[in-house]
Structure formats: C-alpha cells, structure tokens
Structure 1
Amino acid sequence: MDIAFLSMALNQGHIQQQVSISVMKKAIGNTEQQGEALQKLMSTADAAAIQQAAQPHLGGKIDLKL
C-alpha cells in the first residue's frame, strides 16, 4: 500500500465529515430560529382569530326563536 495515498484518503474522509457536521449545525440553527419565530407568533396570536380562521363557517349567523 502507498502510505501517501492512504494518508490523503483518510484526510479527505475527515474533511468530508467536518463539512457534514458544519452543514448539520447550520440546519439545526435555522430550525431553532424558525421554532422561536413560531413560538413568538403563537404567543401574540388571538385565540378567537385562530379559531375563526380554522372554522370560518361557525359563528357567522345566530338563530333566534321567540
């Protein structure tokens, strides 16, 4: 076996692993930011408005009988 070739192959594998870890950390950071934004949106949203958006056909008319 060629020692230089083996050394280059191992180094290349190590670099690929470092790149993969870096990309994964970036993806995790983006996911955390999206989660925080969603939590902020949910905390400021009006519950009645959310229910109306989910079921717009409810509560539009009132039936009264006297």
Structure 2
Amino acid sequence: MDIAALSMSLSQINLSQAVGISVLKLAKDQTTEQSQQMIQMMERSVQPNLGGNLDIRG
C-alpha cells in the first residue's frame, strides 16, 4: 500500500471516529436533559401531606 492511500485511509478512520464521538456526545447531552426534566417533573408531583393521615372510622 502506498503512502497516499494509507494517509487517506487513516484520515477516513479519524473522521469516522470523530463523527461517532460527536453522535455519542449529542446522545449523552439529550439523555442528561431528559433526566433533568424527569427529576423536575417528579419534584413538582410531590405532595408531602398526601397519605399522612388515615381515617379508619367508619
């Protein structure tokens, strides 16, 4: 294999790796954002007084 072909092959490999890393970073950022939104939703749904008293008198 000549040097030009080897150089081109390595360049394509580097580009492929860079694209893969970028896609993974986007997925990680999106997952982090969704997790934070879920935490906020759960915090808003908390009702501390709900279930605190039980009336068993019939």
Which TM-score tier does this pair reach, normalised by the shorter chain? 0.7 to 0.9
Which amino acid is 1:23 matched to?
Answer: V
Q: Unaligned regions of 5+ residues in structure 2, if any?
A: 51-55
Q: Unaligned regions of 5+ residues in structure 1, if any?
A: 49-61
| TM-score of the superposed pair, with normalisation by structure 1 | 0.69
Does residue 30 of structure 1 match 2:9? no
1:53 alignment counterpart: none
Percent identical residues = 39
List, as ranges, runs of 4+ consecutive aligned residues in structure 1 with deviation greater than 6 Å.
Answer: none
| TM-score of the superposed pair, with normalisation by structure 2 | 0.78
Which amino acid is 1:39 matched to?
Answer: I
Instruction: Number of aligned residue pairs: give it.
Output: 52
- Greater relative contact order, per chain length (Cα 8 Å cut-off, separation 6+): 1
